Structure 1
Amino acid sequence: MSTTELHQQVRERFGVETIDDRVVALGAAGALCLLVSAITFLIGSPFTALPFAGFLFTVAYGLYEYQAATAKALSFLATIGTGTILALITFYLLVEALPAIRLMGAEMFTSTSEPMWRTRGEEMYSLVPMMWGTLVTTVLAMLIAGPLGVAGALFISEIAPDAVREVVKPAVETLAGIPSIVYGFIGFTILNDYMMESLELPTSGSLVIVGLVVGLMSLPTVVSVAEDAIASVPESMKSGSLALGTTDWQTIKSITIPASFSGVSAAVLLGVGRAIGETMAATVILGHAQRLPDPLYDVFGNTETLTSLIASQYGVASGTHMSALFAAGVVLFVSVTVLSIGSQYIERRMKHQLQGES
Structure 2
Amino acid sequence: MRTSQEILKIFLSSHTLGDVMGVEDKIREIEEELRKTPYNKATQYHIGRLKARLSRLRDEAVKRSSKKSQHNGYSVKKTGDATVVLVGPPSVGKSTILNRLTNATSEVASYDFTTLNVIPGVTEIHGAKIQLLDVPGLIEGAALGKGRGREVISVVRSADLILLVTTVFEIEQLDTLEKELYDAGIRLNIQPPDVRIIKRDRGGIRINKTPNVRMDDTLIKAVLGEYKIHNADIIIREDLTIDRLIDAILANRIYLPSIRVINKIDLIGRDELEPLRGMPDTVLISAATGEGLNDLKEMIFRGLGFIRIYMKPPGRKADLEHPLIVKTGATVADVAERIHRDLKRNFRYAQVWGSSAKHDGQRVGLTHRLADGDILRIVS
TM-score, normalisation: structure 2: 0.21
More helix by share: 1
Larger radius of gyration: 1
TM-score, normalisation: structure 1: 0.21
